[in-house]
Amino acid sequence: MKKLEVIQKRIEAERRKLNEMETTYGLLHPKVIKQSMKLDDLINEYTREESLRSDPFKS
């Protein structure tokens, strides 16, 4: 499986987890905020990886 596909699967799983946590704890609970930040990091990782693939001269 390609790296982007792996990251995308992780994003989907973490997004589902975030939605479940939001329903359980509410939007402003520290656990929900931490999970949201984890999801943000994965999305940023995906974006960086995608950017490198579209422009191989970037580092």
Judged by DSSP in three states, 58 sits in coil
Q: Which residues contact 3 (CB under 8 A, 6 or more apart)?
A: 49
* Residue 35, Cβ density class (10 Å: 0-12 exposed, 13-18 middle, ≥19 buried): buried
**Per-residue pLDDT for 56 more than 70?**
no
pLDDT tens readout for residues 7-54 = 999 999 999 999 999 999 999 999 999 999 999 999 999 999 999 887
Cα-only R_g, the chain:
14
- Contact between 50 and 43 (Cβ < 8 Å): no
pTM of this structure: 0.85
pLDDT tens readout for residues 7-17 = 999 999 999 99
